[in-house]
Every structure is written in C-alpha cells, then in structure tokens.
Structure 1
Amino acid sequence: MQATRKAVQCISPAGLHTMSYKEWGDADNPKVLVCVHGVTRVADDFDALASAMCDEYRVVCPDVVGRGQSGRLRNPMFYQVPQYVSDMVTLLARLDATHVDWFGTSMGGLIGMGLASLADNPIRKLILNDVGPALNLTALARIGEYIGQDVRFQTYEEAVTYIRLISASFGPHTDAQWDKLAHDVLRQNPEGQWIRHYDLALAEPFKLTTPEQATLAQAMLWAAYDAIRCPTLLVRGELSDLISAESAHEMTQRGPRATRVEISGVGHVPTFVQPEQIAIARQFLLSKD
C-alpha cells in the first residue's frame, strides 16, 4: 500500500506555515497511529513501520516544521517542542481523531511526552524511542553541533557516505537500507550539490541554550513525564549516549512506569526498519491492556 501526501496549515507567533504529512491505510479507520521523527529526520523514516501497521491503523507520519516537505519558520527560535506540540494539535484536529497511539523517535518522543502530559489529551498508548526526560547534555551538544553545519557534496555517493558516518549509531543496516536512510534526508540545490533536507536554522535554539536553561528544561521534562497516565513503552538503544541506563531505569519507576526494552548493538537511535524492531512496536500497540 502506498502513502498519500497531505498538508495542514499551522501557526506560530511569527505567522503561518504548512506541515506536510504522509498517511497510510484506510482514511476512515478510527484507530490512528501518529509517528514522529527525530530532529534531522523526516516522515519517510517510518515507511517500513507504517507499511507493517496500516492493516490495523490509519498511520500518519508528519514532517515536523523545518524538515522535509514542510514549511520553514520565519523566526527560528520557535524551533522548539512547544511549537511542535501546537502543530500536532492542529494535525489531530485535521485528522478528526478522538484517540491516537503515538510513536516518537528522539525529538518525536519529546513532542509525544509534551502532548501526553496535558489534561484531556488524546494519546492512548505512547512509545518513546530512545528518549526521555533526562538527556545527556554532551550528546545534545554533539547533535546541536552538526545540525547547523552547511555541508555540501558534489556527488550523491559522497552524501550517502556522510549520512552513514554521522548515523553509525543507528546500528547495522544493509546497503539498501542505508541508501534509503540517506536518500530520505538529502536533496539537490539549484547548483546540483547534495545537501540535507532541513532548515539549518534549526541549530539556533541549541546554540543559545545556557546550562541553566538546560537544567530548567530537564526539570520541566520530568514534570511532564510524571503527568503521563497512558501505557508507555521505552525503547533504548543499548549503546545510546542520549539516555543513560540509569535514567531509563528511573523511567520505569515513576510517572507512567514505562515498560523498558533494550536493543543490543544499537546506539541513538533504533530505526525500526528491521522486522524484529517493528515486532516490538506491534506487540505493544496491539496488546490488550
């Protein structure tokens, strides 16, 4: 089954923008699964998962604003979780979805946490893919550093090699899988060079975050996590440098008391293109609680 591309108009304090999304499965299916990608990734990351789940769900995979086929924000300082949560509320209104299940990879998980912490929220089940309220600041600095680099490549092969290098923590993949993971986040500029498919201004909020602000943000994330009431699954890459084993354990003891699964040989983040990883999500989402 092929996905359909659609778009919804959203608003920030700086004006209007569009959010593109892919939709799989029966558009009239009341069971909706929303899958949201990481900070520099796109909706296409979930093609394998969506294809496997669209027999049960209407699967919706947005390009978060600033990425992929979505618009760009006029003020880059709004490239932060509160704006993304607002956009997702607009998306859910467009979908006319009363309840949804949520799969969030890294940043997508933080957006899911923010939404799931709100009173009267629509999230029935929540999967957090290698992310939680306690984040390794060194890992965040690593991510923030490469986000804003204006790298350009003369050939597609050079660009794929670069994506494979910076994404090595994703774990083992076939050459075909790596090619898709790279192709999904690359495009050619008017000069024919290969560049990454997002707004480089995403890096601005990272650059301006002080240690004091980061500490405050983490306290707010824990408060949000503690407010979550839905069944929650935490998937952690065994070698992750973003969320520690200690933090993952703490997430099983407080808030929604997440069920924890670790994927061996993988760091940040599991891609959920492998059948055994897809099976983890499918079992949790379709289990009767």
Structure 2
Amino acid sequence: MTALSSAPSFAADLAAPRQRFVQCASPAGLHRVAYTEWGDPANPRVLLCVHGLTRSGRDFDRLAAAFARTYRVVCPDVVGRGLSSWLNAPNYYVVPQYVADMVTLIARLDVEKVDWFGTSMGGLIGMGLAGLPDSPIQKMLLNDVGPHLEPAAVARIGDYLGKPVRFESLQQGIDYAALLAQSFGPLTPQEWREINTPLIQERDGAWQFRYDPRIAQPFAATTEEMAAAGEAALWRALAAIPGPVLVVRGEQSDLLSRETVAKMVEQGKHVSSVEIPGVGHAPAFLSAEQIDIARRFFIGPAAQAS
C-alpha cells in the first residue's frame, strides 16, 4: 500500500480501518497473519494492539479509531484466529511463535519502535518480546495479565477452549461468545455484536468460531513444570523491560490477582497499575472511561485536551 500524505481528503479517513496481511514462517511452513491498520500509514508512531486467546484484532476497533490521529494503530489477528491462517502443525500455537510473527509484522511496518497494548494472551506475547535485548517495544499496557496466571482461571478457559460448537445463526454465535466473555463487563447488545461478529463465520452449513480448535492442544499439553518454567521466564522478561509498563486489572478478575499486580510493580523497572471496578477478565476497553486510561498512558493528558 502506498503511503498517503496528510491531505484533507485522507484526513477524513484516518479513523477508517484497512485490512492487510503479512507472510510469516514457522518450522512447519509459511502462514499469513491478518491485521487491521488505522491512521496514517506513513506515521512512524505505531501502537500494536494484540488480543486474547480466542479473540481477534477487531476487539480494538473503538480504541484504534480514538487513537488514529496520534498513532498508526495496527491490530493483528494472531495466527489461528480471525482472518489469519491456521498453522500446519498445532504444536506451534505457542508464545515463541507468536513473538516471531510479531517481529515479522513490525518489520513489515518498517518502524524501529512500537508501543504495545496486550490483552491477556496479547500481554504475554508483549512481555516475551519486550524482555528481549534490543526489543522494539517502548511503552506497554498489559490488560489483565501478568507472569503468574491463577490456576482456577486457566482451568476455566481450558473447559471451553477448542470444543466443537456450531450455531444455527450468527446471533446465536454472538450470544454464546458473549456468555463466555461475560466478565468483560456489562456491555450492551450492540457492543457484544460489534466485538463478537468478527469471531464467527458460516462454514459447512453452520455458524462456528473462526479460531483453529487445535490451539487447545498445546494449551492442554502444558504440564505444571512447563507452566512454572514459563512463569519464571516471564518474570525475568518483566524485570528486564526498560520502558514504562501499565498493568490494568479488572476488579473481579480471576486470572490476575492483586498480589501478582503488586509483585509486578515491585519487580519491574517502571511498572504502575490501575484497577477498573465492576469488571473481571478482561476489561473490554470499549467505554470512553477505559479508553481514557490507555490515552493517558500512551499519549498523556495534554494530548487529550488538544
């Protein structure tokens, strides 16, 4: 796509999304990662927004539109989800592969540095990348996730992950996805439709989720020893991150405890936290109040007023 100038005709389209794809590689072959891009494609200031385990980059439409005059906002569908390819080998549905894909995406964007908004799994990917030497990540917001995940919440997710579910209509699929994500907060029917429609597709005569059900295989195969090793690696990564980190916790979250948040603030270099009342895992960032939390962190109050 040719970079466009800041001419008035383009300025009116800053808050309109563009659908793009980038080719990535795993040891099992090539795959495509889809991403939605907002704002001026020539803007070197990039915000990468990465979604949760079974979600899609379209979860960030409202936030992206709100930030599009300051950032080039890029919202990928992690491989195996949304409009992205499914992997040839499901054992590569793991954070190291997702980190590698994001490095490829950042190279496609042709920028040296990015800011990062990561919800749940997207935050784990962000920590994995941000903790590496010479990481491109500057500021990072972790939405209801940390190095330690509460076992009961992990078990809850495992109960539904990858299970075959078919729906008689798109609306039935939207409602079922809303039931699984009810801890996001008290969203309106229109808001559920907005963020859940991209998760559902018509296939083989029925409506079903877009994500590859095989993402459940490495999730289910994780042993206590593997989980402990992964957690230790994430704590090391968090401690190594040089830039500002904001941890956002839903007050009723069963995945991220207050104790973990306190430990993150203590062990990180520049980690702060905020808790959002009335929601669990994970805040949806659809409301103006929640978007303003991200705005103050990434842009600042002065920019908000301008």
Which of 12, 20, 42 is residue 28 of structure 1 equivalent to? 42
Counterpart for residue 237 of structure 1: 250
Greater alpha carbon shift after TM alignment, 144-153 vs 99-108 = 144-153
Q: Does 1:46 align with 2:60?
A: yes
- Residue 25 of structure 2 aligns to a residue in which SS? strand
Q: Does 1:206 align with 2:223?
A: no
1:147-162 matches, within 5 Å, as 147-162=161-176
Which of 231, 234, 247 is residue 260 of structure 2 equivalent to? 247
Whole-angstrom CA distance in 1 between matches of 2:36 and 2:173: 25
Whole-angstrom CA distance in 2 between matches of 1:231 and 1:257: 5
Counterpart for residue 224 of structure 1: 237
Q: Which runs of 5+ in 1 are unaligned?
A: none
Checking the alignment, whether the CA contact within 8 Å between 1:251 and 1:257 is kept in structure 2 is: no
* Count of equivalent residues: 287
Q: Does 1:188 align with 2:187?
A: no
Deviations 1:225-263 (A, max 9, x none): 111111000000000010101101111111234110100
- Residue 85 of structure 1 aligns to a residue in which SS? helix
1:88-237 matches, within 5 Å, as 88-191=102-205, 193-237=206-250
Whole-angstrom CA distance in 1 between matches of 2:118 and 2:95: 13
1:283 to partner: Cα distance:
0.5
Whole-angstrom CA distance in 1 between matches of 2:281 and 2:31: 30
Whole-angstrom CA distance in 2 between matches of 1:140 and 1:229: 29
Greater alpha carbon shift after TM alignment, 250-259 vs 34-43 = 250-259
The residue type equivalent to 1:216 in the other structure is A
Checking the alignment, whether the CA contact within 8 Å between 2:119 and 2:143 is kept in structure 1 is: yes
TM-score, structure 2 normalization: 0.92
- Residue 286 of structure 2 aligns to a residue in which SS? coil
Counterpart for residue 12 of structure 2: none
1:174 to partner: Cα distance:
1.2
Deviations 1:106-144 (A, max 9, x none): 000111101110111111100000000011122112112
TM-score, structure 1 normalization: 0.97
1:286 to partner: Cα distance:
1.1
